[in-house]
Amino acid sequence: MAVPPEAAEQAAESHESAASAPKPHLKRDQVVIRFAGDSGDGMQLTGMQFTSESALAGNDIATLPDYPAEIRAPQGTLAGVSGFQLNFSSNEVFTPGDEPNVLVAMNPAALRTNLEDLQPNAVIIVDREAFNESNIKRAGYTSNPLTDHSLDKFQVIEVDISKLTSLAVHGLGLNNRAAFRCRNMFVLGMLSWLFQRPIDSTIASLKIRFKKAPELIEANIRVLTAGYNYGETTEMFASSYEVPAARIAPGLYRNITGNSATALGFVAAAVKAGRPLFLGSYPITPASDILHDLSGYKNFPVYTFQAEDEIAGVCSAIGAAFGGAIAITTTSGPGMNLKGEAIGLAMKVELPIVITDVQRAGPSTGMPTKPEQADLLQAMYGRHGESPVPIIAASTPADCFDCAYEAVRIAVKYMTPVILLTDGQLANGAEPWLLPDPDKLAPIKVEFATNPEGFLPYARDPETLSRPWAVPGTKGLEHRIGGLSGENLTGNVSHSPANNELMVRTRARKVAGITREIPPTEVFGDASGGDLVVLGWGSSFGPIREGVKRVRAKGKKVSHVHLRYLNPLPGDLSETLKRFKQVMVAEMNMGQLLKLVRAEYLIDAFGFNKIQGRPFKVSEIENRINRVLEG
């Protein structure tokens, strides 16, 4: 969808007063908007609020926030640009969209950073006053892009956002800085009118956000309303656009990010298990919001501990699990490096903890605010010795709830640490989430050992091979745990070579046995086989699904398989993949799942890989599929 050229041409035409007759509403099935500006321009808040408005309007939505990696980059520079992209539609949405139909650029740096993503005829809305000589130079331009004809292939709408914001707050006694920070509300009001978004929810949100500063409530509401009225009265917009509500399953929905969904999944699991929830974590981008969210659930038995480092975070979780709590720790890639030894300890002593890795672009510090899927092999093998642990990966922001819940369920049932993989795209992205019925969530049964007669700390359940969970302080159940090789059944220190092999193989069999928990592999497309199947995991779900849908619409035999369980892999995956002539594994790394699939099943699969700190575009998946099918 592209907004028609008349939206820009209207500025040059003479019209009767817009107040004399309502402007027409044009219907569109889908719109992609990107808000971009300095990190202090409030683009994330603007995008999230516009997302909430779109959700209340009944659209299906998907978002992609884009944070600058530098905390305080110089104002007006490329390094400080913050962005937020939203795809809202009357149809089912799988991705935040490839190219924006509308770009809001609050300064020259925001324009230059995002210009290459725009298609010809896209609409660019700019704050005219921000394109001064100083800002133009900081952004690396040698001339003003608004006047040098370099933007002629786009529809450029210049608005005096800063000036109109100042007029709207005149008389409130705000200083220049406070007034300037209200500009994002003018943009939100203008775009809300342009796409017929309701602003009542935004007004209510502003009253809550600034409840301790009444003058800021008044200022932001004034500016929001001024922006909305500007859209109605200006001659720059010949019409507004309506994106009808999507047809979605009935029920109670809320807009949710992946990190919030992860936190709620852990809370739900703890409540279902009837045990307190403990999080031991060290703050790290982009995982920190899980810690922030959980610390707010004080009406549940939720305990959060901000540790002094990553090692303390995971070790505190191990201690909480030993004490009978639902124990979790959260981190991102570099933190997983530090947690490796303690995860091996949890695996060896067989205590249930969940390690959540919100992946980001690496190596080392890398691009800490950008997504990547590069920690799969670390999750599989990033510990010394033979120390397999189950691995689960979420595929959408809402799916983070289900995966967090499932990770706890498996950890408790099998008495083992579990690694949950999400990434920065899922963590910060948002979508509508249908609230689940708590009564329909899978049971999480916690049974502590209490009978001292014949108690052996490493006696095993014949089906799951899990050991009993014996809480310290239970009379007669004193036992030894630790990192040294332990004797079968008793757990006492043992230096027997044969015993060591027995315990290593037993723990490996326990993890491998979790395959019985994995449902049959779902195939989107032709389950019986075809020319190509695209295999994926994690946040690549949306682009793969939409790309496969587009190619299938042209009559081609292409299918999609997406994995939630990465260790162990589904028991029927080999059989499923071998029904197809070709297997393409699409992932944001250099081919980590590809290596596992080729080694495990001896399938001549090939990879499609992207390592740019950016998610796949649907067009990239679609084009690669077509190239493969064409040989």
- What pTM did the predictor assign? 0.94
The CA distance from 505 to 447, in Å, is 25
Asked if residue 113 has pLDDT above 80, the reply is yes
Helices (H) and strands (E) in the chain, counts: 21, 21
Give the per-residue pLDDT at 21: 63
H-helix or E-strand containing 599? helix 592-601
pLDDT at 203 (0 to 100)? 96
With cut-offs at 50, 70 and 90, classify the pLDDT of residue 24.
confident
**What distance in Å separates the CA atoms of residue 76 and residue 109, rounded to the nearest whole number?**
6
Query: Where is mean pLDDT largest: 12-21, 22-31, 448-457?
Result: 448-457
Q: What is the pLDDT of residue 395?
A: 98
pLDDT at 519: 97
How confident is the model at residue 205, as a pLDDT? 95
pLDDT in tens, 174-206: 999 999 999 999 999 999 999 999 999 999 999
% residues pLDDT > 90 (the chain): 93
The Cα–Cα gap between 175 and 178 comes to 5
Mean pLDDT of 37-65: 94
Helix 541-552 vs helix 618-629: angle between axes, to the nearest 10 degrees?
50
Calculate the CA dihedral of residues 526, 529, 534, 535 and round it to 10 degrees: 100
CA 145 from centroid of its chain's CA atoms: 34
What are the tokens at 118?
Answer: 């725009």
236 — pLDDT class (breaks 50, 70, 90)? confident
User: Residues 88-106: pLDDT tens digits?
Assistant: 999 999 999 999 999 999 9
How large is the average pLDDT for residues 344-373? 97
Quick one: CA torsion of 111, 115, 121, 122, rounded to 10 degrees?
-70
* Amino acid identity, position 174: L
| Closest among 410, 49, 391 to 206, alpha carbons compared | 49
Position 589 pLDDT exceeds 80:
yes
What DSSP letter does each residue of 364-396 carry, written as one string? Answer: TT-BTTS---TTHHHHHH-SSSS----EEE--S
Residue 600: other Cβ atoms inside 10 A: 12
Query: For residue 463, is pLDDT > 80?
Result: yes
Strand spans (E) along 50-96: 60-66, 81-89
pLDDT reading at 11 higher than 80 = no
pLDDT at residue 253 greater than cutoff 80 = yes
